[in-house]
Structure 1
Amino acid sequence: MKSSSIAVAMAYVGTVIGAGFASGQEIWQFFSRFGLWGGWGIAAAALGFALVGWLALERGRAGVHDFGTLLASVYPPWAAYIAEGLTTAFLVVGVVVVVSGGGAALAFFSLPSILGKALTLLVIIAVASRGGNAVTIANSFIVPYLIMMTVAVAWLYPHNLLTHGSPDHSWAWALSALLYVSYNLFTALMVLLALGSRLTSFKSTGMAAGLGGAILGLLAFLEHGVLLRLLVIGDLPMLTAAHQIHPGLGFLFAASLWLALMTTGIGGAFALGERFGRSRLWWLVFTIILTPLSFKTLVSLLYPVMGVLAVMLWLPLFVTPTRSE
């Protein structure tokens, strides 16, 4: 079944924008903590998302739908085996982070944490088990709402206060941008390989990846502007900002945050389903026992490590040929 470039771009954005992005926690950890210099990192990351996304979609369009095949085309068997194992492990870790964040987001609605986590996990499994078409449809509805909420908070939050300056981190923001794009590819790369077959031309893959990178860059810049003016950076800083503007907006943003978490979790579960079979996704219910750490702790500890290890996973995109027709 074919999809439009816009639908695939929305799925790409939805896969990346989830767990820490919509909450602001990712943008703080990777960019805003560097002060104004973080903006350069965001620009570099947006270009990286467009480039690597295009390469991944092209591989999928060329028939490379299996991540193991992509790795085997570059690495010796033992290295490809290790890379596949790391990818599987961190896809599961990604679901754990999403479920933890889902519990935190739904706590805003006075739902007990364990129930919020359970609901989050069940929705993820239900959608992912229905395949790629369900993923693109879900993101086509969810992502526009996320964009609207992020724009609203960025526009309405007070603009006359800058609480975080520009510390001297030299080129640390550049390394941070590389790690940010890299770790996001744990999930996005496998989703894009699968969705690439739904596009019909070199132009359509370029449009989907370019639009996806542009949207991700814009949203990250908007959050960056809010985070630089926020007095305290907690677990869910963008939700804090929305609530400070108005409790009603906080309520709406909490809903968008939960939906954003869904998009990343669905993407990760979809990738696992493509590898092991959708009928086996039920075993993800056991990941709920791995979610006692706070959302902020999970993001700050695990995501940079995932970024370092993910470099070996997306490098094959640059050494296998693309189709130009």
Structure 2
Amino acid sequence: MKQSMSIAMAFVGLLIGAGFATGKEMMQYFVSFGSTGMWGLVVTGVIMVVFGAVVLQIGSYFLADEHGAVLKNVAHPRLSWLLDAAVSITMAAMGMMMLAGAGSTFQQAFHVPAWLGSLLMAVVVYFVCFLNPDKVAKVIGAVTPLMIVAIIAIFIYSLLHIPEDFSLSAANAVAQQEPSPVQPWWWSAVNYSGMSLICAVGMSLVIGGSYTKLRDVAIGGMLGGIILTVMLTFETLVLFLNVDAAAGKDIPMAAIGSDIHPIVGVSISALILVMIFNTALGDVYAFSRRVNVLAPRHPKINLFIILFISWLISLVGFGSLIQIIFPILGYIGMVIGVVFVAWRIRWSKLIAGEKARRNRIRQLTRVHIHPEIYVDNSLELNHELEGSEADNDKLLATVAEEERPNLELDAEEYKEPGQS
């Protein structure tokens, strides 16, 4: 259960990014339908529980190091190429979105022109990409839990400070003035699930690929989907209860924070900016590495061109871009989700067989690496490893790493039958 919870929190960390933190996603996909949009959270919750379990488990099945190889295994070659390209394009699109979000946040919270705010973010991302972006991202990733705590705190505050004259019909009227690019409400919820999936599918597969226990990974995906749904519900209710302050804003959560107290607004805006930077850094860096494969001679020029084009497009504005780009990503993500779920259903016997195989590999590995009861079972172990679709060396190494903590248990428990 401990491993499943660790996987769940990693999955949630991927999905609760800068777009979620701004609140604009929730306004567009759920709040814009008024109180009816709350039912959309149920639809999204069910889909994300299924997607989480399936995608993470498939990542574990193939012990994925990156998404491209998995797509080739679960989809027709032509479709897998298109989906792989779509995931790469998503990285570029999210980079543009993050620069636009940075511009809106600077303008709304600090009265800095949006174009300048976007440019400042682009410059910082450019230079950090040539440091050690993976380490920087891990450090800044600690902001995500802070954002979760902030949303929970604002949710509790909103419940405790509902105005006596609050009217559901009045709140609905204001909420329904917000743009709803995808309709009706249930289709909007499905589209949101697809958008979330395509933004996180690459790293979700890699997270799943870091573990060998297929059952634990699937449970982790389900728990992650449930936790995500709870967080979506908290933020959507916050936005609905404070719709007067949130409506018409590019960064609704910052507007609500400012309505509570100016210091709260600045704090929320600062957290959002850090999360935007973290997301922009990850997406732009990953996309630039893809581009460098095609044009490896001038990585700095490649990155400059990527960021310059992203900055130009970001000038369209965060609110406008999110209405255009997110629904498109949602439709593509829906296709990816259907492909993964269909593969999981079709090859359920393979998954079941792999579970049994890995259980046996785990038993053999325990005995093989135990310092007190070493048994030469390399022939059977190699036979079991060769039957797996996963990379044999990585499978053995990962299983051994997972089992080392169990070696403190009584050695007699792991002796083969018939051993004295």
Sort the TM-score into its range (normalised by shorter chain). 0.7 to 0.9
Give the Cα–Cα distance (whole angstroms) in 2 for the partners of residues 271 and 81 of structure 1: 18
1:262 is matched with: 277
CA contact (8 A) 1:183 1:304 kept: yes
1:34-183 to 2 correspondences below 5 Å: 34-61=33-60, 62-107=62-107, 108-121=109-122, 126=128, 130=132, 135=137, 138-139=140-141, 141-157=142-158, 158-160=161-163, 161=166, 162=168, 163-165=170-172, 172-183=184-195
Q: Call closer, same or farther: CA 1:31–1:17 in 2, change over 3 Å.
A: same
Q: After superposing the two structures, state which structure 1 stretch, 109-118 or 124-133, moved more.
A: 124-133
Give the Cα–Cα distance (whole angstroms) in 2 for the partners of residues 99 and 204 of structure 1: 37
1:15 deviation in Å? 2.9
Give the Cα–Cα distance (whole angstroms) in 2 for the partners of residues 299 and 181 of structure 1: 15
1:228 is matched with: 240
Aligned counterpart for 2:259 among listed residues 233, 237, 244: 244
1:63 deviation in Å? 2.2
Counterpart amino acid of residue 103 in structure 1: G
CA contact (8 A) 1:25 1:235 kept: yes
1:310 deviation in Å? 2.2
Give the Cα–Cα distance (whole angstroms) in 1 for the partners of residues 122 and 5 of structure 2: 27
SS of 2:248's partner is coil
Counterpart amino acid of residue 236 in structure 1: I
1:137 deviation in Å? 5.2
- Runs of 5+ consecutive residues of structure 2 not aligned to the other structure: 359-420
SS of 2:316's partner is coil
**Number of aligned pairs?**
320
1:150 deviation in Å? 1.0
Counterpart amino acid of residue 47 in structure 2: G
Give the Cα–Cα distance (whole angstroms) in 2 for the partners of residues 270 and 185 of structure 1: 20
1:217 deviation in Å? 1.5
CA contact (8 A) 1:100 1:291 kept: yes
SS of 2:269's partner is helix
SS of 2:235's partner is helix
2:327 is matched with: 304
Q: Does 1:285 align with 2:292?
A: no
CA contact (8 A) 2:254 2:269 kept: yes
Q: After superposing the two structures, state which structure 1 stretch, 263-272 or 102-111, moved more.
A: 263-272
Q: After superposing the two structures, state which structure 1 stretch, 270-279 or 211-220, moved more.
A: 270-279
Q: Call closer, same or farther: CA 1:212–1:143 in 2, change over 3 Å.
A: farther
1:195-234 to 2 correspondences below 5 Å: 195-229=207-241, 230-231=243-244, 232-234=247-249
CA deviation vs aligned residue, 1:141-160 (integer Å, no higher than 9, x gap): 12210011112222223423
Q: Relative contact order (C-alpha < 8 Å, sep 6+): which is higher?
A: 1
CA contact (8 A) 1:132 1:270 kept: no
2:204 is matched with: 192
Give the Cα–Cα distance (whole angstroms) in 1 for the partners of residues 139 and 58 of structure 2: 22
CA contact (8 A) 2:37 2:185 kept: yes
Give the Cα–Cα distance (whole angstroms) in 1 for the partners of residues 270 and 95 of structure 2: 19
CA deviation vs aligned residue, 1:70-97 (integer Å, no higher than 9, x gap): 3323443333323322332222111100
Q: Call closer, same or farther: CA 1:152–1:277 in 2, change over 3 Å.
A: farther
CA contact (8 A) 1:100 1:295 kept: yes
Counterpart amino acid of residue 67 in structure 2: F
Q: Call closer, same or farther: CA 1:218–1:122 in 2, change over 3 Å.
A: farther
Give the Cα–Cα distance (whole angstroms) in 1 for the partners of residues 129 and 223 of structure 2: 24
Give the Cα–Cα distance (whole angstroms) in 2 for the partners of residues 77 and 56 of structure 1: 19
Give the Cα–Cα distance (whole angstroms) in 1 for the partners of residues 68 and 207 of structure 2: 16
1:253 deviation in Å? 0.8
1:30 deviation in Å? 0.7
CA deviation vs aligned residue, 1:169-222 (integer Å, no higher than 9, x gap): 9x9322111110101222200011122222342344234323432332122212
